[in-house]
Amino acid sequence: MKAKGNAEGTIICTVRRLKFLDRNTCLEIPQICKDYIINYEASNAYKEGLAMAYNRYVTHTGLNWDIPYFQKEERLPNVPSNEEANIIISSFHRKWATIFTILKETGLRPIELHRSTLKNIDLEKGTINAKACKRGNPRILKLTDSTLALLKTYITKNTSKTLFPAPHDQCRAWTRGRNSTAKKLNRPELIKYRLYDLRHYFATMLYAKTKDILLVKQQMGHKRIEHTLIYTHLINFSNDEYISRTVQLGTPTTLKEICDLTEAGFTKFTEIEGYQIFKKPK
């Protein structure tokens, strides 16, 4: 797989799945392995991953089999609220809190952050030039001043050969911290949020703020708009709280007040008795 140019994460995932199959079935007898995969109690997406990993093994060893087809179930991703994401991130010490804050604020994939080097980061402008991943598009992402300050401290104290940890290390750290926080605070609902859901949070909040699906597509690095449209269904969070502001129409400062609120991330919610009401998630 390395010789064919497969990504490190793909190789690690394939090895993990093959080890799982080797513990539970017989890799040398394709029909037995196939029956095990088909009847294994898991989502079709997971079973498809097992089948793809075993298919690599079959191809490499010269065995023969008919790879089973699994219809993936379409489902919306879990998206944490701002409060839930911050609760989890705040439970980590500075190193991991910095990494997860960057992921939440930029929508970067863990592999994209891992591949980022000092050459891709402009500390003066506070931007990260994200390399393309998963056949996606490269893009430039802006950090807030507070996150940029965290990143500068992180870079100064970093002693690793690579600037950011590998994706599987990021995921393991997130899972441990998330589970510990959920148990400590007695908030079991936090366990459902994966590290990748920070990317979903970014896209959902960006669309809720701008209503510009093409901007979300560009910021996410998507090649196809179909991959972005899912976020149009995720903007209503019943448990989220909002900050509201009002603007009185017809005053000398009306236009400036509206522009200031828009730049601050507020969107118009309604209009009542000569006032426009704006809101944004806390």
DSSP code per residue over 243-280: EEEEEETTSTTHHHHHHHHHHTT-EEEEEETTEEEEEE
Indicate if 87 and 151 belong to the same structural domain.
yes
Indicate if 222 and 246 belong to the same structural domain.
no
Could you tell me if residue 51 is inside a domain?
yes
Query: How many angstroms separate the CA atoms of 261 and 247, rounded?
Result: 9
Indicate if 124 and 258 belong to the same structural domain.
no
Query: How many angstroms separate the CA atoms of 43 and 108, rounded?
Result: 26
pLDDT for 238:
43
Could you tell me if residue 67 is inside a domain?
no
Residues in the chain: 282
Indicate if 192 and 250 belong to the same structural domain.
no
Full residue range of the structural domain in which residue 96 is found: 82-233
Indicate if 195 and 106 belong to the same structural domain.
yes
Could you tell me if residue 77 is inside a domain?
no
Indicate if 227 and 253 belong to the same structural domain.
no
Indicate if 52 and 87 belong to the same structural domain.
no
Could you tell me if residue 75 is inside a domain?
no
Q: What is the CATH number of the domain that holds 138?
A: 1.10.443.10
Indicate if 52 and 172 belong to the same structural domain.
no
At position 243, the amino acid (one-letter code) is: I
Indicate if 49 and 135 belong to the same structural domain.
no
Could you tell me the pTM of the whole model? 0.72
Could you tell me if residue 175 is inside a domain?
yes
Instruction: Give the pairing of strands 267-272 and 242-248.
Output: unpaired
| Residue 226: CB atoms within 10 Å | 9
- Give pLDDT tens digits along the chain (282 positions): 999 888 777 898 999 999 999 999 999 999 999 999 999 999 898 999 999 999 999 999 999 999 999 987 777 788 999 999 999 999 999 999 999 999 999 999 999 999 999 999 999 999 999 987 767 788 999 999 999 999 999 999 988 888 999 998 999 999 999 999 999 999 999 999 999 999 999 999 888 888 888 899 999 999 888 888 888 777 654 445 677 788 888 788 888 888 888 888 777 767 766 778 777 776
The encoded tokens of residue 73 equal 């179930």
Could you tell me if residue 219 is inside a domain?
yes
Indicate if 25 and 132 belong to the same structural domain.
no
- Residue 270's beta-bridge partner residues? 277
Could you tell me if residue 150 is inside a domain?
yes
Among the three residues 195, 213, 233, which one is the final residue of a domain in this structure? 233
83: left (phi over 0), alpha (psi -120 to 50) or beta: alpha
Indicate if 227 and 246 belong to the same structural domain.
no
| Residue 199: CB atoms within 10 Å | 21
| Residue 237: CB atoms within 10 Å | 18
Could you tell me if residue 90 is inside a domain?
yes
For the chain, how many structural domains are there in total? Answer: 3
Question: Phi, psi (5° rounding) for residue 275?
Answer: -120, 140
pLDDT for 273:
65
> Which string of b and e fits 107-128 if b means at least 16 CB within 10 Å?
bbbbbbbbbbeeebbeeeebbb
Indicate if 166 and 229 belong to the same structural domain.
yes
